[in-house]
Structure 1
Amino acid sequence: MTSPALSVLDLVPVRSDQRTSDALTASRSLAQVADELGYRRYWVAEHHNMPAVAATNPPVLIAMLAGATERIRVGSGGVMLPNHPPLVVAEQFALLEAAFPGRIDLGIGRAPGTDPLTRYVLRGGSAESADDAVARFPEYVDDVRLLMAPDGVEMQVGGRRQPLRATPNAASVPDVWLLGSSDYSARLAASRGLPYVFAHHFAGQGTAEAIALYRSTYQPSPEHPEPQTFLTVNAAVADTREEAERLALPQVQAMLALRSGGPLLPQRLVEEAEADRPAQQEPLVRRMLDKWVVDAAGPARERIDALAQEFGVDEVMVHPVAAALAGTPAHESPAREQTLRLLA
């Protein structure tokens, strides 16, 4: 069995002992570790108004991370397109591709990635425009791709035709991926001949069905004659399984709070999570850990290889969820770096 290539998904977590600047420094170091170890790509998410997530603006983060690394592909996992005018996204990623040619991925999602208030503000104070943007998602995807193309588009305004390009003279364009946690984006990606990623790390189920639907309905495109996809997994890897489970506990508790409507807080340190571990949550904690890759190096890598074979992919994107111990320097995330090193 051939081992898959490895990539990284980063939400830029903010711990209870960190400022935003500390979290950014830690993620920059994590990207450099991934680059040195030969990981294929490094993606950052888009989430807003969350105390534990600093990944609010993927293009800004991508510029920072691509500038701090040498060869790894850097991209969005993803830009939540209904939050933004397509031209703005096209301009941002056309410039990133010009600055770092051949290294930029534009992953696009349909979910808002935030609460209703922030979504309302992002769309200029109009709930109707936000809903309209979601309904027009396929059109927005097409617009971004056309605007980033070297020739751009031509539109008729005021009785005359005028060219419109995201950047004056593009030599190359970013790779565009569609992301999703349902079959909607699988169908859309297949119809457009685009690469596709199902959010296995978040949904935890429905992955096989979504990937099968994507592959079975795929319409080849000139850029992508074959369907292209990979798997995403949450991972915490340490010297022992017991230590890996300790390090994963804060993220498990955060996910349980998110899904149960509990308060969203900065990511806990390991000791904070252990001090507040309700007994009634233990079955839920165990079920979640069983879905993730949480183990020592050898068994963890075997699990990733087995998942890649099960879903027929040659790449696995790891979301390193190992938290920090008390006393860890605020600008460092050694447990996340350890996860990448032990899996490489």
Structure 2
Amino acid sequence: MKLSVLDLVPLRSDQSTGDALAASTAVAQAADRAGYTRYWIAEHHNMPAVAATSPPVIIAHLASRTSSIRVGSGGVMLPNHAPLAVAEQFALLEAMHPGRIDLGIGRAPGSDPVTSMALRGPAGRDDTDVQRFPQYLEDVVALMGADGVRVPVPRQEYVLRATPAARTEPALWLLGSSLYSARLAAAQGLPYVFAHHFSGQGTAEALATYRREFVPSARCAAPTTFLTVNASVAPTHADAVAAALPQMQLMARLLGGLPLRAIDLVEDAAEVELPPRLQELVEAGLARAVLGAPDDAADQLRRLAEQFEVDEVMVNPIGSAPRGTDADTAPARVATVELLGAALL
């Protein structure tokens, strides 16, 4: 089974943005050493606990500090950006690091409505951009290619290209957590990733729909898919749960509509008392995650891959840290990556 990593560049209460980026760099280097397949950066905006606001910038940084692992987006939220801008960014990344760049694209805004409006700027982009998502997706694909896109203008045909001389193109993946994304990936013949780590709902139906409706394309001859899962691995099960608890409490606050903040340290999370409805969300999140000592966690991942018939799983290492941890490190997240890698790769 292939293993990969999803990284939101989480920000703990003891960290600056620079600290969080340094910690994620160490996690990426650990995954590179362990033989993981890919390392993807998510896109979120205006969230106190997430420093992954610009995947292309972080990808350039991480790709230059690793040697063989594929680095990409998980994903770029396309309604927030002009297709040409996305195509240019990832075509340049591919030119810098040929054969190592993945472009994962999603449809969700990755932010609140006010932030989404600010991202789209004064040009008048609105919710119709979500409706035009399939066309935007096709535009990005074409713009990254050597032939570019031909735009009809009066008395001539204007050619747009993401770079002047593309030799190779990033690998394109469609991300989603719904039947809409599964059907779109199938119809366009694209590889597909299901965000199982977010809610754990609808995974089997989405993957079955994608495989059943898949139309082969020049980019992808057969259905190609994997899924994501939260993971915390430590020498003991209790240590793994303690490290994961701050992230699960944060997700409960998000789903419950409470004000967000940076991720608590382990000791602070242990003292938190949430309302019963939010505590239920915490318990549900822990139940869906891969948690435990290395051998047990490896078995959980194998069962997950077998259940959903995938040969690759992307883990989101969610461990926080105890008080006194160096701010620019993430030892629990590094341990998750290293322990799983030793057990499975």
The bucket for the TM-score relative to the shorter chain is: over 0.9
What per-residue deviation string (whole Å, max 9, x for no partner) do you get for residues 16-58 of structure 1?
Answer: 0000000000011110010000000000000000000000000
Which aligned runs of 4 or more in structure 1 are off by greater than 2 angstroms? 277-287
1:152 maps onto 2:148 in alignment: yes
The answer to whether the Cα contact below 8 Å between 1:193 and 1:221 also exists between their aligned partners in 2 is yes
The answer to whether the Cα contact below 8 Å between 2:197 and 2:229 also exists between their aligned partners in 1 is yes
C-alpha separation between the residues in 2 aligned to 1:171 and 1:179?
25
The answer for unaligned runs of 5 or more in structure 2 is none
The counterpart of 1:323, out of the listed 320, 324, 334, is 320
C-alpha separation between the residues in 2 aligned to 1:170 and 1:139?
22
The counterpart of 1:67, out of the listed 64, 88, 91, is 64
The counterpart of 1:195, out of the listed 184, 191, 203, is 191
Distance 1:341 1:176, change over 3 A: same
Distance 1:282 1:163, change over 3 A: closer
CA drift at 1:282: 4.3
What per-residue deviation string (whole Å, max 9, x for no partner) do you get for residues 260-314 of structure 1?
Answer: 0011100110011111134735443322211110111111000000100110000
> Secondary structure of the residue that 1:39 maps to in structure 2?
coil
1:215 maps onto 2:205 in alignment: no
The counterpart of 1:225, out of the listed 221, 224, 230, is 221
Aligned residue runs from structure 1 range 271-290, under 5 A:
271-278=267-274, 280=276, 281-290=278-287
Q: 1:171 corresponds to which residue? A: 167
Q: Which amino acid aligns with 2:207?
A: I
The counterpart of 2:40, out of the listed 28, 34, 43, is 43
1:310 maps onto 2:304 in alignment: no
Q: 2:15 corresponds to which residue? A: 18
C-alpha separation between the residues in 2 aligned to 1:92 and 1:325?
37
C-alpha separation between the residues in 2 aligned to 1:60 and 1:334?
24
RMSD: 1.1
> Secondary structure of the residue that 1:178 maps to in structure 2?
strand
Q: 1:92 corresponds to which residue? A: 89
Q: 1:343 corresponds to which residue? A: 340
What per-residue deviation string (whole Å, max 9, x for no partner) do you get for residues 85-121 of structure 1?
Answer: 0000000000000000000000000000001111011
The answer to whether the Cα contact below 8 Å between 2:252 and 2:279 also exists between their aligned partners in 1 is no
Q: Which moved more, 1:50-59 or 1:281-290?
A: 281-290
Aligned residue runs from structure 1 range 52-131, under 5 A:
52-125=49-122, 129-131=125-127
C-alpha separation between the residues in 1 aligned to 2:303 and 2:32?
24
Q: Which moved more, 1:287-296 or 1:333-342?
A: 287-296
- Structure 1 length as normaliser, TM-score? 0.97
The counterpart of 2:239, out of the listed 230, 236, 243, is 243
The counterpart of 2:298, out of the listed 296, 301, 305, is 301
- Structure 2 length as normaliser, TM-score? 0.97
**Seq. identity, %:** 59
C-alpha separation between the residues in 2 aligned to 1:61 and 1:329?
21
User: Aligned residue pairs: how many?
Assistant: 340
C-alpha separation between the residues in 1 aligned to 2:162 and 2:257?
40
The answer to whether the Cα contact below 8 Å between 1:83 and 1:130 also exists between their aligned partners in 2 is no
Distance 1:275 1:215, change over 3 A: same
The answer to whether the Cα contact below 8 Å between 2:190 and 2:217 also exists between their aligned partners in 1 is yes
C-alpha separation between the residues in 1 aligned to 2:246 and 2:190?
35
C-alpha separation between the residues in 1 aligned to 2:47 and 2:296?
33
CA drift at 1:125: 3.9
The counterpart of 1:261, out of the listed 257, 263, 271, is 257
